[in-house]
Amino acid sequence: MLNIVLFGPPGAGKGTQSAKLIEKYNLVHLSTGDIFRANIKNETELGVLAKSFMDNGKLVPDEVTINMLAAELDNYKQPKGFIFDGFPRTSAQAEALDALLATKNTSITLMLALEVEEDELRKRLLLRGADSGRADDMNPEVIQKRIDEYNAKTLPVKEYYQSQLKFKGINGLGNIDDIFSFLCNEIGM
Ligand code: ADP
């Protein structure tokens, strides 16, 4: 299996590149942000809980997120592989993911990290908010909170994969198709 973690701060372009990667490599796309938003839309119990964190730019608690992802993984019987988008976002999530994949006799192949500086992220997120109406992209304070959460809790996940020699950083500035070719080069197939 080809299991990729697509990593990067909010607004780095994970969603855009995931869409291209799943098409090329036939992978299952698991975006925890998308799953939370679907739950919010359907007004599930999980959605109500997640919304209270997301609206404030905070991470949803690990236990909730990990259980949700575990249930989601079980929906796919013989996948070619997964692309994890927005997960893992904490070291505890990274450890849980390794354990979950081990029970399925597989593991993470590679972490691909899209690197974009903060000023550019703030600009992109505000633009996306104006376009999509996504609440957490429309408020500069919430955007800053998400960037701060990323720096405090999510950046350490990079070291987790670095120590496993699975980390590859890619410049996330520039043309979407160029960035996509850099990602494909790293995947090497
Ligand atoms: P972005 O990467 O642009 O912030 P996402 O859609 O990935 O957008 O995430 C939106 C929000 O959903 C996050 O700010 C957070 O509140 C919540 N969320 C998504 N994934 C996770 C996760 N793995 N752990 C905790 N919270 C998460």
| Residue 47, both tokens | 């959605």
Q: What pLDDT is stored for residue 189 in this prediction?
A: 84
Distance CA 183, CA 177 (A): 10
Alpha-carbon gap, residue 175 to 103, rounded angstroms: 38
CA torsion 153-156-157-162 (nearest 10°) is 170
Q: What integer is the mean pLDDT of 40-59?
A: 97
Amino acid 89 reads: R
Contacts of 43 (CB under 8 A, 6+ apart): none
Burial zone of 132 (CB within 10 Å; 0-12 exposed, 13-18 middle, 19+ buried)? exposed
* 103 in any annotated domain: yes
pLDDT, residue 16, reads: 96
Q: What is the pLDDT of residues 63-95, one digit of tens each?
A: 999 999 999 999 998 999 999 999 999 999 999
Give Cα separations from 158 to 41, 83, 118, 139, 167 (angstroms).
31, 16, 17, 27, 7
Residue 97's pLDDT is 98
Q: How many other CB atoms are there within 10 angstroms of residue 80's CB atom?
A: 13
Domain that holds residue 76: 2-116+156-187
In this prediction, residues 18-39 reach a mean pLDDT of 97
In a domain? residue 27 = yes
Residue 44 counted as domain residue? yes
Please report whether residue 136 resides in a domain: no
At 40, which CATH number? 3.40.50.300
| pLDDT at site 7 | 97
Inside any domain, residue 133: no
Q: How high does pLDDT run on average in the chain?
A: 97
pLDDT digits (tens, 9 = 90+) for 92-132: 999 999 999 999 999 999 999 999 999 999 999 999 999 99
What's the average model confidence in pLDDT over 142-165? Answer: 97
User: How far is ligand 1, taken at its centre, from the CA of residue 24, in Å?
Assistant: 25
State if pTM tops 0.85.
Answer: yes
- DSSP of 82-95, one letter per residue? EEEES---SHHHHH
pLDDT of residue 166: 98
Pocket test for ligand 1, best of 32, 132, 150 (most atoms within 8 A of CB): 32
Residue 124, domain member (yes or no): no
Q: Give the pocket of ligand 1 (CB within 6 Å).
A: 10-11, 32-33, 36, 53-54, 57-60, 65, 86-87, 89, 93, 136, 146
Rounded mean pLDDT of 16-42? 97
* Closest C-alpha to ligand 1, atom 12: 33
Q: pLDDT over 70 for what percent of the chain?
A: 100
Tally of domains in the chain: 1
Q: Rounded mean pLDDT of 168-175? A: 97
Cα–Cα distance, 122 to 6 (Å, whole number): 20
Q: Which of 189, 131, 152, 187 has its CA nearest to residue 4?
A: 187
Q: Does the residue 84 lie in any domain?
A: yes
Any domain includes 94: yes
